[in-house]
Amino acid sequence: MKVVFFGATRGMGRALARLMAERGDALFLLGRDALDLARSAKDLELRGAAGSVGTAECDLLEPAGFEPALARAHEELGGFDTVVLTAGLFAPQDALEADTELCQSLLAADFTNTVLFCEAARKSLLARGGGRLCVFSSVAGERGRKPVILYGAAKAGLSHYLEGLDHKFRARGLVTVTVKPGFVRTGMTEGLTPPPFAGEPEAVARQVLRALDRGRPVVYAPPIWSLVMLAIRSLPRFAMRRIGF
Amino acid sequence: MSELSGWGRYPVVDAPERVSEDFESATAGAALSRGLGRSYGDASLPRSGGDVVANSRRADRLLAFDPATGVVRAEAGLSLRELNRIFLPRGFASPVSPGTQYVTLGGMVASDVHGGNHHVAGTFGEHVRSLRMRVADGRVLEVSEASEPELFRATLGGMGLTGHLLEVEVALERIPSPWIYQESRRVRDLDELVESLLDASRTWPFTKTWFDSTKRGPTMGRGICIVGRWAEPGEAPAQAPELRERISVPIDPPFSLVNGLTVPPFNSLWFHKHGARLRAGVVHPRAFFWPLDDIRHWNRLYGSRGFAQYQCILPIEGGDTRVVRRFFGAMTRRGCPSPVSVMKDCGPEGRGMISFPRPGISIAVDVPLRGAKTQALVDALNEIVLEAGGRIYLSKDSLTRADHFRAMEPRLPGWNQVRRKWDPEGKLRSALSVRLLGDDA
């Protein structure tokens, strides 16, 4: 595979990019910090990525940079067939309620700009006859829940968009994979108390890569979260109002 | 706040822990850093009462590797397990392997770890080329024998008390195959145990012995002498060994399953299972170097009260091993139900100013914590070590008394001087440094 990876320096993105490197995929990294990108690029090269791993600065809060960054990736990889996005912002509900600016950034990053990035990536991939687009949404988007109202709303919108994309373009060769992680122990969730069924980034990465290879449209990770969310989705409203989850 | 403890699960400290891929930023203002928490006692624990500890385990990127020289550079949180997974199939191994793979490069430097090849390879620190560190005043420096020799030597084995280890550059060893050719044989008593070890170390690169810590009288010190070397390509399987855990201890048993009733039969079984004949063959490197890594959370076998590991080294001037007999006498008289008991000979001292190994016989035992009884055992053993001119291994310790430690370590003032030069205000400290080195509580 020739992969453009937005968010490979940390967490689940780092773990997934490493699996790709270890099986010899070619990678191009997008991210905010040039120095951090260069270090991750070197790590992936030493783990077996095909050729040298290029990088370009790209910030989820600055959508004007998306197309130029993808163009750079296209140039350096000599075309690409896979785009992965794990980047995103997270903040607890009370912090978002208290800080309008933070709330605006998070909603913009996790919904509007992520969709804009996917639109740019979709066009590039379709222009070459299709490919794979793998985007990390969240189980937080499955139901309006007290601890993740705002974050969950952005992810709900994103999941919706990704589903539509898959319905419309799969026949034309563009496979969209929506990853819905439950609680995974990464820097993003550091400091939160892990619920039962918390996952590790390496295990999630293995699961996502399998799904990506097989073109499965939706991945709950760890898998048990598909059952947890099935239960949550079927709860009546009066019950949801009472529980803290 | 997180409840933190070492592998022995005693003591426990409630302290703020910063875990981040951006470890360098996380160390700013932190009093200590830690990795996978595999030191047994309080070496990786911050002083309780507000000190922040930075955790390196997410900072695990490879930064450079030169296949011509084997020199690798990585962020300090890279584990030995990951290093092995990546480099064993490529024909390179860590020059020194401690008893578990679940240690970080930073931890291997801070403890200046040794392994079964200490008599020929020395400690891990002997192979370290350079370190990137955050020192107490906040600066980030490249520290090597050439740039800052004093700080470099104080940091090898310095228990993380001279600065935060951010990156480690170390020379890997080229190996003929990633498998091990091993020979083992049973030994009947203590004399034979020591003799077989010293004898084996004259010809084998890796040597160690396991012994039955519960036997007294004529069979005291009976055990198994295990030697090995990297297998040649012709004798090794063609594929690379897989490094996966097999079983797990899922929960805390209500009491320690390792106790005075279970250990003697376990040790006997282990001894007799081997058989009287010499056993030889090619084995998985995990079985040879890190047998306990097969069992995830094996420390839970000791129950929630935890356990202590005790490791000391006894000098044997001119080959006089009577001190080893005195030590075994005291240990078995007081009762030491240890299922994992290892004896190993050590070679010359290395560069680390305060590193553990020195020429002599190293003895390590694991014991369940049984309150005053365990404290009395450690005190009695320390008296013998002190009298013999030996020392204890800080990475294992949780129970040694400060006065014993200071009396054992004439090197301490010299090392402390370097420490104070780089950290005049005493910003860097740990629960261990408060307990043993007199840092502010």
Pairs of residues, one from chain A and one from chain B, whose beta carbons lie less than 8 Å apart: 27
pLDDT tens figures, B75-110: 999 999 999 999 999 999 999 999 999 999 999 999
A10 interfaces chain B, CB cutoff of 8 Å: yes
Q: Which helix (DSSP H) or strand (DSSP E) does residue A126 occupy?
A: helix A114-127
- Contacts of residue A102, defined as CB under 8 A and 6 or more positions apart, other chains included, come to A91, A95, A96
Beta bridge partners of B164: B134
User: Predicted confidence band at B321 (pLDDT cuts at 50, 70, 90)?
Assistant: confident
* Domain B180-401, second-level architecture: 2-Layer Sandwich (3.30)
Judged by CB atoms closer than 8 Å, whether chains meet at B65 and A46 is answered as yes
The distance of A212 to chain B (nearest Cα, Å) reads 24
Contacts of B64 in chain A (CB under 8 A): 42, 46
Q: What is the mean pLDDT of residues B31-40?
A: 98
Judged by CB atoms closer than 8 Å, whether chains meet at A11 and B21 is answered as yes
Does the pLDDT value for residue A90 go beyond 90?
Answer: yes
d(CA B261, CA A232): 49
Pick A40's closest partner by Cβ from B19, B58, B61: B61
Q: Residue B407 has what pLDDT? A: 98
Distance, C-alpha A118 to centroid of its chain: 11
The distance of A43 to chain B (nearest Cα, Å) reads 5
Enter the ipTM.
Answer: 0.94
Ranges of beta strands (E only) in A169-233 are 174-181, 218-221
A39 interfaces chain B, CB cutoff of 8 Å: yes
Please, which residues 159-188 of chain A have a Cβ atom closer than 8 Å to chain B? 187
3-state per-residue secondary structure call for chain B: CEEEECCCCCCEEEECEEECCCHHHHCCCCCEEECCCCCCCCCCCCCCCCCCEEECCCCCCEEEEECCCCEEEEECCCEHHHHHHHHHHHCEECCCCCCCCCCEHHHHHHCCCCCCCHHHHCCHHHHEEEEEEECCCCCEEEEECCCCHHHHHHHCCCCCCCCEEEEEEEECEECCCCCEEEEEEEECCHHHHHHHHHHHCCCCCEEEEEECCCCCHHHCCCEEEEEEEECCCCCCCCCCCCCCCCEECCCCCCCCCCCCCCHHHHHHHHHHHHCCCCEEEEECHHHHHCHHHHEECHHHHHCCCCEEEEEEEECCHHHCCHHHHHHHHHHHHHCCCCCCEEEEEECCCCCCCCCCCCCEEEEEEEEECCCHHHHHHHHHHHHHHHHHCCEECCCCCCCCCHHHHHHHCCCHHHHHHHHHHHCCCCCCCCHHHHHHCCCCC
User: Predicted confidence band at B319 (pLDDT cuts at 50, 70, 90)?
Assistant: confident
Pick A9's closest partner by Cβ from B21, B62, B86: B21
pLDDT tens figures, A39-54: 999 999 999 999 999 9
Q: Residue A75 has what pLDDT? A: 97
What single DSSP character describes residue A189?
G
d(CA B100, CA B243): 12
Q: Residue A74 has what pLDDT? A: 97
The distance of B97 to chain A (nearest Cα, Å) reads 21
User: Predicted confidence band at B242 (pLDDT cuts at 50, 70, 90)?
Assistant: confident
d(CA A27, CA A37): 12
What single DSSP character describes residue A144?
-
Judged by CB atoms closer than 8 Å, whether chains meet at B19 and A40 is answered as no
Query: Which residue out of A6, A111, A136, A151 is catalytically annotated?
Result: A151
B311 in Cβ contact with B364 (< 8 Å): yes
d(CA B21, CA A15): 12
Q: β-strand B247-248 against B17-19: which pairing, if any?
A: unpaired
Q: What is the mean pLDDT of residues B361-368?
A: 95
CB atoms within 10 A of CB A137: 27
Q: What is the mean pLDDT of residues B346-365?
A: 97
3-state secondary structure of A175: strand
Residue from A134, A82, A88, A142 nearest A110 by CA: A88
Contacts of range A63-67, beta carbons closer than 8 Å, 24 or more positions apart: A63/A112, A63/A113, A63/A116, A63/A117, A66/A113, A66/A116, A66/A117, A66/A120, A67/A120
Domain residue extents for chain B: 62-175, 180-401
pLDDT tens figures, B9-20: 999 999 999 999
pLDDT tens figures, B127-170: 999 999 999 999 999 999 999 999 999 999 999 999 999 999 99
The gap between the terminal CA atoms of chain A, to the nearest Å, is: 39
Q: Which CATH class is domain B62-175?
A: alpha beta
Pick B20's closest partner by Cβ from A43, A46, A187: A187
B221 in Cβ contact with B211 (< 8 Å): yes
A128 interfaces chain B, CB cutoff of 8 Å: no
B194 in Cβ contact with B363 (< 8 Å): no
Pick B21's closest partner by Cβ from A10, A42, A46: A10
Judged by CB atoms closer than 8 Å, whether chains meet at A187 and B62 is answered as no
**Angle in degrees, 0-180, between the axes of helices A149-169 and A100-107, rounded to the nearest 10:** 10
Report residue A235 as tokens. 């709860």
pLDDT tens figures, A172-221: 999 999 999 999 998 888 878 888 888 999 999 999 999 999 999 999 99
Q: What are phi and psi of A23, to 5 degrees?
A: -100, 10
The number of CA neighbours under 13 Å toward the Cβ of B275 is 6
Q: Which chain A residue lies closest to B61 (C-alpha atoms)?
A: A43
d(CA B201, CA A23): 41
Judged by CB atoms closer than 8 Å, whether chains meet at B62 and A42 is answered as yes
Contacts of B86 in chain A (CB under 8 A): 46-47
| Known catalytic residue at A151 | yes
**Angle in degrees, 0-180, between the axes of helices A201-214 and A11-22, rounded to the nearest 10:** 60
Q: What is the mean pLDDT of residues A131-148?
A: 96
Domain residue extents for chain A: 2-242
Q: Residue B423 has what pLDDT? A: 98
Homologous superfamily of domain range A2-242: NAD(P)-binding Rossmann-like Domain (3.40.50.720)
pLDDT tens figures, B105-137: 999 999 999 999 999 999 999 999 999 999 999
CB atoms within 10 A of CB B232: 12
d(CA B138, CA B415): 20
Judged by CB atoms closer than 8 Å, whether chains meet at A187 and B21 is answered as yes
Torsion of CA A123, A127, A128, A131, to 10 degrees: 30
Contacts of A7 in chain B (CB under 8 A): none
Does the pLDDT value for residue B205 go beyond 90?
Answer: yes
Judged by CB atoms closer than 8 Å, whether chains meet at B62 and A47 is answered as yes
User: Predicted confidence band at B244 (pLDDT cuts at 50, 70, 90)?
Assistant: confident
